[in-house]
């Protein structure tokens, strides 16, 4: 119950971020890509477990917009997105 409250009420943005990072991390080996270029319309396959059906293309576009606007946390950029090969 505590985890449900934390993920759905207290930290829904953080949970959304973690799902996006997990989906992006899986996208690379599944597609054989070395950089994180994902078409906007891409939704992860349903058989990807907890990140199945995730709107990965939209999430990537949102991260790029936030970065351009200067509203993306610097730690997220360096620690997560650049490590995954975000261009």
**7, 9, 24, 43, 82 from 85: Cα distances, Å:** 27, 31, 10, 19, 5
- Which stretch of DSSP H or E encloses residue 48? none
* pLDDT of 23 higher than 70: yes
Confidence of residue 87 (pLDDT cuts 50, 70, 90): low
CA-closest candidate to residue 84, choices 18, 36, 32, 17: 36
What pLDDT shows up at residue 8?
Answer: 46
What tens digit of pLDDT does each residue of 33-74 get? 888 889 999 999 999 988 999 999 999 999 889 888 888 777
Rounded Cα distance, 22 and 16, in Å? 10
């Amino acid at each position: 119950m505590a985890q449900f409250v934390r993920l759905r009420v207290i930290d829904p943005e953080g949970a959304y971020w973690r799902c996006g990072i997990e989906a992006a991390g899986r996208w690379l080996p599944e597609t054989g890509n070395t950089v994180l270029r994902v078409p906007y319309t891409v939704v992860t396959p349903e058989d990807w477990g907890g990140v199945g059906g995730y709107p990965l293309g939209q999430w990537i576009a949102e991260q790029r917009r936030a970065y351009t606007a200067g509203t993306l946390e610097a730690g997220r950029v360096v620690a997560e997105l650049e490590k995954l090969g975000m261009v």
